[in-house]
Chains A and B, each alone.
Chain A
Amino acid sequence: MKIFIKILLVLFLLIQRQDSLFAQFTFFNPKESFAIEVSLPNSDLKRLPIYRNSISSMIVTGDYIIGGTSANEGLTPFVFTASLKQQQVVEVIDFNLVIPGQQAIPTGFCRGNNSTFYAGTLANKKAGGAEGDGHLFNAEIGQEGTISIKDLGIPIPGEGIISLTLDSEKKILYGVSYPSGLFFKFVIDTREIKTYKNIAVTDKQKELYKEYEQGPQNYLCKSLIQADGLIFGSMPVNTIFYFDTKTESFNIMKDIPEVWGRRTMGQIESWARSANGEIYGGNAGDGQLFEIDPVTKNLRNLGKPIGMNRLRGLAFGDDGKLYGIAGSKPGYSHLFSYDEKEGFVDFGNPEFKMTAHGIEQGILWRGFQFGTLASSEDGKYIVMGEDESLSQLLIFAVGSKNEPRVGE
């Protein structure tokens, strides 16, 4: 009889457990994940000053995260390196001391040979208000995370560079200029430049965008990816193209997956390629993730990870999952993962522990606005760079166990 009562009691407690009122959100803060303090005004530590540190370009090489920033108008950016092992910034270069007058490094870094990485810039406006001249440059990363920057010149006077990709075998850079949206080819060794008007915004399109209060940042191709001699990107209005590097021809492919009524917002702002060659893209306008078969060019809309627009970064982890950042102002960025089996998993705003000299006990840093995302070469880390007035790095250790903290 006593055993029977005990069983009844256990069953009763289990039923109570199932009726849990758990509803409050929790923060995604796996134990091995961490934040690195990159920005801190008035400090003797290697840190970036306010309004010049929005992390808009990022790549990871070995132990080092390489970051390129964007500054507020009239101010100038930085290039920095941070160590994953040391969990701190190791080198900071004031870009204005190398190439003056630049405002942003928006292109991401293209991986070249011998620890050399390529990127492009947007310049501050010239005196009188004319568009500044964006530069191409390379950054050589030393064994200890040191940075050496070399100016490769101005590919198109009066234009900045908004996106870039590299054919590392042929040592050719392909990019899109700002604000005209000219496609260009730049041979690194000879500095030979060739421009194409095929994907540039037309006057008629500019009129259309003006009607919707949209500027070049909203419609130009923000991200390019190179796959087997084809370069994929987006062009006005809401269209995907690819450029065949062999034939030097443009192919208008498909519409970007859209939600009714948001066609003018269609713009690809992130790409990633899986180990088996599939290409994944993110649409800024509505935040959809889509997949392109590079052989058949078939496109599949995989849907939206969260309710907001924007998809500002994509990269694969060593668990084979695609990680990305979805959403942006006026909401918050979310970290998400995607794979065929699980579909989308939304991790919300990451909140990781930041430890540094002076805050040895560690403080929790919640990431609200991310500008970019990259994975380490071994796929063990997903690195997110903030887009804030004081931006930091948040690093998710792939596969580490989440120990959620209830939000308050």
Chain B
Amino acid sequence: MEFFKIGDKFIINMKKILSYFFVPGKSPGKSIVVLLLLISIIAHIELKGQGKAITKKNITFIDYPDFPEAHSTWGSIGYNAKYNSVFIGVTNHHDKVGFYEYNASLQEMKLKGFINDLGYLRPYQWQAKIHSKIIFGADGTAYFTTDGGESREEYLMDHPQGYVGGFFMKWNPATSMMTNLGMAMPYESLKDIEIDPATNTLYAITYPQAHFIVYNPAKNDLLDLGRLSSSHVPRVLFTDWWGNCYYVDWRQRLVKYEKEKGCLVFDKNSLPAFEGTPGAKIITGITAFAKDEKNKIIYILTYGAKILAFHPQKEGIGSVEDLGGVADTGNQPEWGPYVPNLNFGNNGNLYYFVGGHGNYIKKDTGVLMEFNPNTKIRKIIYEFSSEELAEATGSDIKDKDGNLYFAGRCAGNEEGNSTVQPKAFMIKFNPEKEVQK
């Protein structure tokens, strides 16, 4: 469809140009040379404007070395602008979390260590995941939180084996030093983290009781602002340009921590949702976000598969635009697709993988979508079998060259007869140029 639009425009342009150069009864002469030059210039402009075709050379999967048990990654990825590097927490989904740095300049992935060693954790302080983003202060210091995240923490009620965790952790990339900043609440995981870079104030959300935490590491001041959500805890926090932090309540209304007033502000209205979106989807809120800093827009994906454009304002809650659904779902409900990732390309388009947790728009197939927020046109770029790529996580990870990163994992299939073992890897993608590992 897009191809024909480009073609039509090109033919119209050509007709106009030819009428100037080919006057009936006159010899073409030098006009042909000038015309050829003009044609090449116009074609160049047209191609540049539309971008080159995206091929498999625009994407690559990068393995995590020295960790054969690397099972999965759960949103535990972030970009450090100071060092032009991507940090990732990779788990065996039981008790071991590898902390990785991918140096985007050197194109090199390195294991920096395991957090139980780096953070001086004892065996009874096992952590099953980093479930949070990895975020950075203005000086490049990394912060993340840890999560119990597996059966003995989630399903053995009241913690007979005593889950000790939900730690805030700090990593100094210059000295390769990990500092354990302590817990927020007893027996609670920390699912996500955010930062106000101006003050290094950290925000976090606990699991399973969904308490909103504000923590100042410099003063060791921790504020528990109480429970904000329902049965299934929304996993995503994000901040605006002023360092205010956002979450959602059980009605999928934005809740803002307004840092200057030091209080929570609740939106009056819920975020847009498709008619018939089940309550279980509503209460889980937001799955991913990406920021368009230039235009001051934060793009949001919901558990109910909506793409939204949020225009934050310094005081109060800003406006929200409904940009539609994440994918064409055919005769399936539009609220169905699961998208726990989002990136914003330098070309102004949004990119996200649809699928995961047994929830695909095509059976056992993970797809990468491109969405133009201006035209609201979306298209499938790649399709992967779930044995290649089942699920991707990560919000707003872009390096200085416009490469976009996702934390990916492959899995088996719906029938459960696949021989493929779950495995984690990083995805590097650039819609505008080929990428290298």
Contact = CB atoms under 8 A, between A and B. Distances in A.
A364 interface: yes
A133 interface: no
A42 B279 contact: no
A60 B120 CA distance: 53
B188 to A, nearest CB: 9
Contact of B155 (A24, A41, A43): A24
A390 interface: yes
A42 B227 contact: no
B141 interface: no
Interface residues of B, number: 35
Contacts of B151: 24
B268 interface: yes
A348 B157 contact: yes
A55 B186 CA distance: 23
Contact of B276 (A50, A361, A363, A408): A361
B155 A25 contact: yes
B277 A361 contact: yes
Interface centre among A306, A351, A407 (most CB of B within 10 A): A407
Contact of A390 (B158, B185, B226, B280): B226
A390 B231 contact: no
Nearest to B185: A330
B155 A332 contact: no
A368 B278 contact: no
Interface string A319-333: 000000001001110
B225 interface: yes
Nearest to B160: A307
Contacts of B283: 363-364
B270 interface: yes
Contacts of B227: 368-369, 388-390
B226 A361 contact: no
Nearest to A389: B226
Interface in A152-204: none
Given A51-B226, A361-B278, A363-B283, A331 B231 contact: no
A330 B187 contact: yes
A330 B186 contact: yes
Contacts of B400: none
Interface in B150-166: 151, 154-155, 157-160
Interface in B216-258: 225-228, 230-232, 249-251
B63 interface: no
Given A43-B268, A50-B226, A359-B282, A365 B231 contact: yes
B267 interface: yes
B73 to A, nearest CB: 20
Given A25-B155, A42-B267, A407-B155, A362 B230 contact: no
Question: Interface residues of A: mostly helix, strand, loop or mixed?
Answer: loop
A323 B267 CA distance: 38
Nearest to A72: B226
Given A50-B264, A351-B231, A364-B230, A359 B158 contact: no
B174 to A, nearest CB: 37
Contact of B250 (A24, A307, A332, A365): A365
Interface string A295-317: 00000000000111000000000
Contact of A363 (B155, B160, B268, B279): B279
Interface in A22-54: 23-25, 27, 40-44, 50-51
A366 interface: yes
A40 to B, nearest CB: 7
B126 to A, nearest CB: 19
A358 interface: yes
Nearest to A407: B155
Question: Interface residues of B: mostly helix, strand, loop or mixed?
Answer: loop
B158 A306 contact: yes
A365 B230 contact: yes
Contacts of A307: 158, 160
Given A23-B155, A389-B227, A42 B282 contact: no
A375 B151 CA distance: 35
B158 A362 contact: no
Contacts of A306: 158
B78 to A, nearest CB: 27
B125 interface: no
Interface in B169-187: 185-187
A42 B268 contact: yes
B209 interface: yes
Interface centre among A24, A361, A368, A408 (most CB of B within 10 A): A361
A331 B268 contact: no
Contacts of A354: 230
Contacts of A331: 158-159, 187
A308 B155 CA distance: 17
Given A41-B266, A368-B209, A25 B157 contact: yes
B304 to A, nearest CB: 11
Contacts of B251: 40, 358-359, 363
A40 B251 CA distance: 9
B186 to A, nearest CB: 4
A379 to B, nearest CB: 28
Given A40-B251, A361-B276, A364-B280, A389 B225 contact: yes
12 contacts: A41-B266, A42-B268, A50-B226, A331-B158, A354-B230, A361-B282, A369-B227, A389-B228, A390-B227, A390-B249, A407-B155, A408-B232
Lowest 3 A-B CB distances belong to which pairs?
A389-B226, A363-B279, A330-B186
Given A44-B268, A363-B231, A363-B279, 10 more contacts: A40-B249, A43-B268, A50-B264, A307-B158, A330-B187, A364-B230, A364-B279, A365-B250, A388-B226, A389-B228
Interface of B: 151, 154-155, 157-160, 185-187, 208-209, 225-228, 230-232, 249-251, 264-268, 270, 276-280, 282-283
